[in-house]
Homo-oligomer: A and B are copies of this chain.
Amino acid sequence: MAKKLSIISFSGDFDKLTAVFTLATGAAAVGYEVNLFFTFWGLNAIKKKQGRSFSGKNPLTKLFGFFMGGLKVAPVSRLNFWGISPKIFRSLMRKNNVATLEELVEAAKVLGINFYACEMAMHVLGLEKEDFIPEIKDVLGVATFLKLADDGQTLFI
């Protein structure tokens, strides 16, 4: 049976999302079954519309949609310097031949990593399955996710 790595991807920060996808693709590359469960700010990583947009069911969720944006505007968790830092990191990654966040997400898709979205967070933020990229395999609650993650390593990032 394949070893398993499951990650609850809670953060919307550029650096933490990079950690999620680096761990996920690294594990998948050596044969792990990998489950990514996106919740709260993490849902930004899998939105169809990457970039700031007023999407969502009501004015408040529209507002959060705008401020949260997506991968392209994800801030760094520390020393963000009004968005300059993520740009610097991207440039350093390219210069040093390290995969950028967008490349890692593409790699995750190719490697067959399982993407799941958190049902409760979607309710709170007024998001629907159609708001996400088609690679989202399913919308899950906690109990189902725990069952998937059983007998493997689970991280909260």
Copies in the complex: 3
Alpha-carbon distance A133/B39, docked complex (angstroms): 29
**9-residue interface stretch from A47-55, A106-114, A142-150:** A142-150
* A156:B19 contact, CB within 8 angstroms: yes
Please encode chain A, from 30 to 49, with 1 for each CB lying within 8 Å of some chain B CB and 0 for all others.
10100000011100000000
Chain A interface SS verdict (over half): helix
* A120:B98 contact, CB within 8 angstroms: yes
Q: Does A1 reach chain B (CB closer than 8 Å)?
A: no
* B26:A143 contact, CB within 8 angstroms: yes
Interface residues of A (CB under 8 A from B): 3, 5, 8, 10, 12-13, 15-16, 19, 22-23, 25-27, 29-30, 32, 39-41, 60-61, 64, 67-68, 75, 77-79, 88-89, 91-93, 96-98, 120, 123-126, 141-143, 146-147, 149-150, 153-157
With A98-B124, A154-B153, A156-B155 known to touch, is A146 a contact of B78 (CB < 8 Å)? no
* B142:A153 contact, CB within 8 angstroms: no
Which listed residue (B8, B19, B126, B156) contacts A92, Cβ 8 A?
A: B126
Pick the most buried of A13, A64, A78, A155: most chain B CB atoms within 10 A of its CB: A78
Q: Which residues of B contact A123 (CB under 8 A)?
A: 96-98
Q: Which residues of B contact A125 (CB under 8 A)?
A: 92
* A19:B40 contact, CB within 8 angstroms: yes
